[in-house]
A and B are shown apart, each in its own frame.
Chain A
Amino acid sequence: MDSKDSTSASIGLPLSRRQLLVGLLSAYTASLIPWALAQEVPEEGQAAFMALSALIAGRQTLNPELARRIYQALDRSEPDFAARTQQLLALIEEQKIDPLQLQAVLDEQYPQLAPIPRKLATAWFLGVVEVEGQARAIAYEEALNAVLVADVLMPPSYCYGAYGSWAEPPSLRSTRQPETQPST
Chain B
Amino acid sequence: MAENLSADFVVIGSGICGALAAYKLAKAGASVIMLEAGPRVTRAQLLANFRNSPRRSDWMSPYPFSPWAPHPVYKPEDNGYLVQAGPYPYPAEYIRAVGGTTWHWAAHTWRYLPNDMRMQSLYGVGVDWPCTYEELDPFYQDAEEIMGVAGSAEEHPESPRSKPFPLEPVAEPWAMRRLRERLQPEYPVVGNTVARNSRSFGGRPACCGSNNCQPICPVDAQYHGGLAVDAAEAAGVRLIANAVVYRLEHDERDRIVAAHYFDPDKQSYRVTGKTFIVAANGIESPKLLLLSTSERFPNGIANSHDMVGRNLMDHPSTSLTFDADEEVWLGRGPQSPSSINTLRDGPFRAEFSAYRLDFTNISRVDSTTQRLLLDGVYGPEFEKRLRYSAAREMNVKTVLEVLPRPENRITLSDRKDALGIPQPQVHYAIDEYTRGGAQDAKKHFTRIAELMGGTNLRFTADDAFANNQHICGTLSMGNDPRTSVCDRYGRTHDHENLFLIGTGVLPTAGTCNSTLAAVAVGFWTVAHILEEQAGSQPAKRAATAG
Contacts and interface: CB of A to CB of B under 8 A. Distances in A.
Contacts of B332: 152-153, 160, 166, 170, 173
Contacts of A30: none
A121 B373 contact: yes
B208 A162 contact: yes
A156 interface: yes
A137 interface: yes
Contacts of B207: 163
B378 A117 contact: yes
B225 to A, nearest CB: 20
B429 interface: no
Contacts, number: 150
B329 A153 contact: yes
A83 B221 CA distance: 51
Contact of B52 (A137, A154, A158, A170): A137
A126 B376 contact: no
Nearest to A55: B379
B307 interface: no
A160 B211 contact: yes
Given A55-B379, A56-B378, A118 B373 contact: yes
Interface residues of A, number: 49
Interface residues of B, number: 52
Interface string A88-127: 0000000000111011100100000000011001100110
B84 to A, nearest CB: 25
B212 A157 contact: yes
A136 B54 contact: yes
A159 B210 contact: yes
Given A125-B382, A160-B333, A167 B363 contact: no
Given A118-B373, A163-B207, A167-B177, A157 B50 contact: yes
Contacts of A128: 54
B76 interface: yes
Given A137-B52, A167-B171, A160 B376 contact: no
A166 B363 CA distance: 13
B381 A58 contact: yes
Given A148-B386, A148-B387, A160 B365 contact: no
Contacts of B316: none
A136 B219 CA distance: 25
A62 interface: no
Contact of B379 (A99, A136, A140, A182): A99
B146 interface: no
A113 B359 CA distance: 42
A169 interface: yes
Contacts of A152: 329, 332, 390-391
Name the residue in B171, B207, B210, B218 with the highest tally of chain A Cβ atoms < 10 Å from its Cβ. B210
Interface of A: 32, 55-59, 98-100, 102-104, 107, 117-118, 121-122, 125-126, 128, 135-137, 140, 145-146, 148-149, 152-154, 156-171, 173, 182
> Which 5 pairs, one residue from A and one from B, show the smallest C-beta to C-beta distance?
A103-B376, A99-B379, A166-B333, A160-B209, A159-B208
Interface of B: 47, 50-56, 76, 171-174, 177, 198-199, 206-212, 216, 218-219, 327-329, 331-333, 363, 365-366, 368-370, 372-373, 376-383, 386-387, 390-391
